[in-house]
Amino acid sequence: MADGPLEDAERAKDAARLRDFEERLAKKTRIDDGPKPMATHDQAHLAWRMVIELVAGLGLGFGIGFGLDKLFGTMPLMLILFIFLGFAAGVKTMMRTAAELGERSVRAAGETEQPAEAAEKDERG
């Protein structure tokens, strides 16, 4: 058993190397629990929402125009007029939705920038 102290030293080195390796591995595989950005394909529901708003406006315009034309006997006049009005209403609703989404993204960007701005103010004064 002449190798006893050398084996203990090697085991200590191996244990230290193993701990170092485990620490480096833990740093690289750490799971971030923070908010994850949405992928571009996750934004498809917003596009579908806008398309549905436009089609709903056109459909309502068509329905109202067709109903009024049947009621008054002026077949293409009210139909064409209310299709254009329904299209305009759909576009207006889409623009309102786009503005709402823009404001929401600006607010979200402002919330993430506020801590950085506070840190800059602390450094200055």
pLDDT value at residue 116: 54
User: Taking Cα atoms as reference points, which of 47, 49, 54, 50 lies closest to residue 89?
Assistant: 54
pLDDT value at residue 38: 59
pTM of the model: 0.57
What mean pLDDT value characterizes the chain? 83
46 vs 31, residue with greater confidence: 46
Percent of the chain with pLDDT over 90: 46
* Residues 43, 44, 49, 52, Cα dihedral to 10°: 170
